[in-house]
Amino acid sequence: MAIRQVREMGDDILRKQSKPLTKMTLRTKILIKDMLDTMYEANGVGLAAPQVGILKQVVVVDVGEGPYVLINPEIIEASGEQTGDEGCLSLPGKAGKVTRPNYVKVRCLNEDMEEVEYEGEELLARAFCHEIDHLKGILYADLVVGGLHDVEYEDEEE
Ligand code: ZN
């Protein structure tokens, strides 16, 4: 298990465009594994490669029903609307209201570089949109209505 350092807002890398992945390599497999470890360790529901300093179009998402790995993802369908609090591992301790589609369909490659489509509603749709935005250098803070507010975390007892 390897935890990578999560870049925080203010770091230029979060504002850059990520490049499509052209082939799966051992290096990228390790990156994906580390991204999952890093996301779970931080109790996040998603993480994008630029957040760990890698400008590749790789995203991991898990809203509690098992991990999704999305490579070169694009949203090909979106409908409905949801407004709710969103947070980001790159803006620790903050949250803010963002409006997103309530349903999205995403086309991407899986870890075997096969084309797949994933559908998501509610939190999963929100997570897909949020993470795909990271690949374009967009942070949820850019989309927040009403400003960011502080979130209190409960202390975890081990
Ligand atoms: Zn984020």
Mean pLDDT for 70-95 is 97
- Contact predicate 140/128, CB 8 Å: no
The answer on pLDDT for 156 being more than 90 is no
Whether 131 is a known active-site residue: answer yes
157 falls in which pLDDT band (50, 70, 90)? low
- Is 73 a residue whose pLDDT tops 80? yes
- The full length of the chain comes to 158
| pLDDT at 153 (0 to 100) | 66
Distance 35 CA to ligand 1 centre (A): 13
CA distance 87 to 94: 6
pLDDT at residue number 155: 58
Given 74, 77, 86, 131, which residue is catalytic?
Answer: 131
Spell out the alpha helix ranges (H) of 50-142: 123-134
On the CB side of 21, CA atoms within 13 Å amount to 31
Q: Assign domain 12-150 one CATH number from 3.20.20.80, 3.30.565.10, 3.40.50.620, 3.90.45.10.
A: 3.90.45.10
pTM listed for this prediction: 0.95
Q: What is the pLDDT of residue 152?
A: 77
- Residue 1: its pLDDT value, please? 76
Mean pLDDT of the chain: 95
Whether 140 has a pLDDT exceeding 90, the answer reads: yes
The rounded Å distance from CA 139 to ligand 1 centre is: 7
User: DSSP letters along 116-127, please?
Assistant: EEEEEETHHHHH
Residue 12 above 90 pLDDT? yes
pLDDT at 154: 61
The helix/strand/coil state of 140 is helix
CA of 18 to the centre of ligand 1 (A): 14
Q: Is the pLDDT of residue 25 over 70?
A: yes
Tell me the domain boundaries of the chain.
12-150
Cα of 89 to ligand 1 centre, how many Å? 6
55 contacts: CB under 8 Å, gap ≥ 6: 13, 16, 17, 18, 19, 49
Mean pLDDT value of segment 12-34: 98
Cα of 131 vs centre of ligand 1, distance in Å, is 6
